[in-house]
């Protein structure tokens, strides 16, 4: 039917533009569902989201659209890099969804929506049994989804990992996490045995919600978040969502007895938001603005959260504002004491509030549990016991209830395979941080509050081609080196050996 790439591109653009209208509405409704939607309306709203998603899905299942996409893929060498990335993405998606009917797609969507609603209820009640049937359904449809793929990998879980990080396999993760355990577990013991005493008594002093909200806005302004193109509010589980070219929204969560959690949530989600805001505008014109992998995205969020916001230069920068907003919390607390407290290594139960050092173990635990779930090596009803045991094995602590244990994360409501991207993100940003510091004085820029300089470097080097490359090609292009966890592990050893005087 199609005889030249221009004709095919025009048709693909027309259909994707229509599909993105549904997509935009879905993002708005999802944002509402996770922020202010009344509890009893959530399931009904999810059904609307599922219906809109299916309308979009039907557009891309149309025979003429598929033919146009496959024509572009066959002639991809004749396209520029933006349209070539689009053609390759369309082909991958075609193979993934070729055998999934609109009816089956709608069924999957309803399962995920039900899982989110029951997870919220289960977390509030601290009762995993409320969520267990929905989790069983999620595992079932994950398996069914992979079974319907045209070119599925032999191992089920490898396919799910690849949905978030193209080409990633368990073999890669087993090797990477093996190196982490080999180097970090002995260092954790040395830290535990250190005689260095870090002051933390002020960390649980109460902080009201309003000054926390003011501090969140201050941090976003400092990071040069564009409030003409973005907004923030609160949610049970913080997140960032790019609703459109000029609409990026993030959320945080205020804890009265843990004021600093808001700071690291905002800098984390603010990093995600900057990635969306500062990507090339051409990405939207060519419909590839969502092709960046999750490990790329997590590398950026955790770059701003950890490499920047946990640095002493950043603490020195924001300390006066924190003293102004939280005078009783920081009464007789120095900037250096605050820096050390923000970098205390304390095995804890909640991943999103974990210190930078032990965070990797939270991801390893979830990765090992996901493998067991997908392989059928553990019954769903036995997952809380497995979770609790792994926390004791790795971190020497045990959850008192399901809310602070297996129900703390939202991710399993929409499937398996996401969690490893957090750890990979730390490793990617360690590599490009080392490249960045050869070209600019990062600490000096942070102390001066010059985030424009940092953001410009990130935009040119990290954001520019992310949607057009797989992660390993992307990091090689930034650093000139192949991916490895060593930069990250070296960083942790150096930083925490200094803090704990090892």
Instruction: Just list the catalytic residues.
Output: 269
User: Quick one: DSSP state of residue 94?
Assistant: H
495: β partners? none
Q: With the CA atoms of 265, 266, 268 and 269 taken in that order, what torsion angle do they form, in degrees rounded to the nearest 10?
A: 110
The structure tokens 């843990």 sit at 258
Complete DSSP assignment for 378-411: S-GGGHHHHHHHHHHHHHS---SSSTTTTTS-SG
The structure tokens 């909200």 sit at 213
3-state secondary structure of 344: coil
Length of the chain (residues): 502
Which H or E run includes 250?
strand 247-252
The whole-angstrom separation of Cα 343 and Cα 340 is 5
**Are residues 72 and 94 in contact, defined by beta-carbon separation less than 8 angstroms?**
no
The whole-angstrom separation of Cα 179 and Cα 232 is 38
Core vs surface per residue 189-199: b (16+ CB within 10 A) or e: eebeebeeebe
């Amino acid at each position: 039917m199609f005889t030249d790439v221009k004709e095919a591109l025009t048709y693909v653009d027309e259909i994707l533009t229509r599909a993105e209208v549904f997509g935009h509405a879905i993002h708005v409704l999802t944002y509402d569902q996770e922020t202010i939607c009344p509890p009893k309306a959530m399931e009904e709203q999810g059904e609307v989201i599922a219906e809109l998603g299916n309308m979009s899905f039907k557009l891309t299942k149309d025979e003429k659209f598929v033919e146009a996409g496959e024509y572009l893929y066959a002639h991809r060498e004749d396209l520029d890099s933006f349209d070539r990335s689009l053609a390759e993405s369309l082909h991958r998606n075609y193979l993934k969804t070729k055998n999934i009917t609109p009816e089956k797609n709608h069924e999957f969507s309803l399962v995920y929506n039900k899982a989110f609603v029951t997870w919220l209820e289960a977390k509030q009640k601290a009762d995993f049994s409320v969520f267990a049937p929905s989790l069983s359904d999620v595992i079932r449809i994950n398996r069914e989804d992979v079974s319907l793929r045209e070119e599925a990998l032999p191992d089920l879980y490898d396919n799910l990992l690849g949905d978030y990080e193209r080409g990633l396999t368990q073999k890669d993760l087993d090797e990477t996490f093996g190196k982490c355990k080999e180097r970090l577990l002995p260092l954790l013991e040395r830290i535990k045995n250190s005689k260095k005493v870090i002051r933390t008594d002020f960390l649980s002093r109460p902080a009201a919600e309003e000054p926390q909200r003011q501090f969140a806005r201050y941090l976003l302004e400092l990071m040069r978040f564009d409030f003409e193109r973005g907004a923030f509010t609160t949610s049970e589980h913080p997140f960032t969502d790019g609703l459109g070219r000029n609409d990026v929204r993030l959320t945080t969560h205020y804890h009265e007895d843990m004021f600093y959690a808001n700071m690291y949530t905002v800098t984390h989600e603010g990093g995600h938001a900057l990635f969306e805001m500062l990507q090339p505008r051409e990405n939207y014109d060519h419909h590839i603005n969502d092709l960046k992998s999750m490990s790329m995205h997590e590398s950026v969020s955790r770059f701003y959260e950890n490499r920047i916001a946990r640095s002493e230069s950043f603490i020195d920068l924001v300390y006066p504002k924190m003293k102004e907003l939280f005078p009783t919390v920081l009464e007789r607390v120095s900037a250096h004491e605050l820096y050390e407290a923000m970098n205390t290594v304390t095995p804890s139960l909640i991943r999103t509030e974990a210190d930078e050092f032990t965070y990797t173990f939270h991801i390893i635990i979830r990765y090992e549990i996901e493998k067991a779930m997908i392989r059928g090596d553990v019954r769903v009803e036995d997952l809380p016991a497995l979770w609790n045991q792994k926390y004791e094995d790795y971190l020497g602590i045990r959850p008192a209830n399901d809310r602070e244990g297996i129900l703390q994360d939202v991710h399993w409501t929409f499937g398996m395979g996401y969690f490893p991207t957090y750890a990979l993100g730390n490793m990617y940003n360690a590599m490009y941080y080392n490249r960045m510091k050869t070209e600019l004085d990062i600490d000096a820029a942070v102390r001066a509050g010059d985030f424009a300089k940092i953001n410009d470097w990130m935009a040119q080097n990290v954001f520019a081609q992310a949607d057009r490359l797989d992660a390993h090609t992307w990091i090689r292009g930034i650093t000139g080196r192949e991916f490895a966890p060593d930069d990250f592990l070296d960083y942790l050893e150096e930083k925490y050996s200094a803090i704990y005087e090892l």
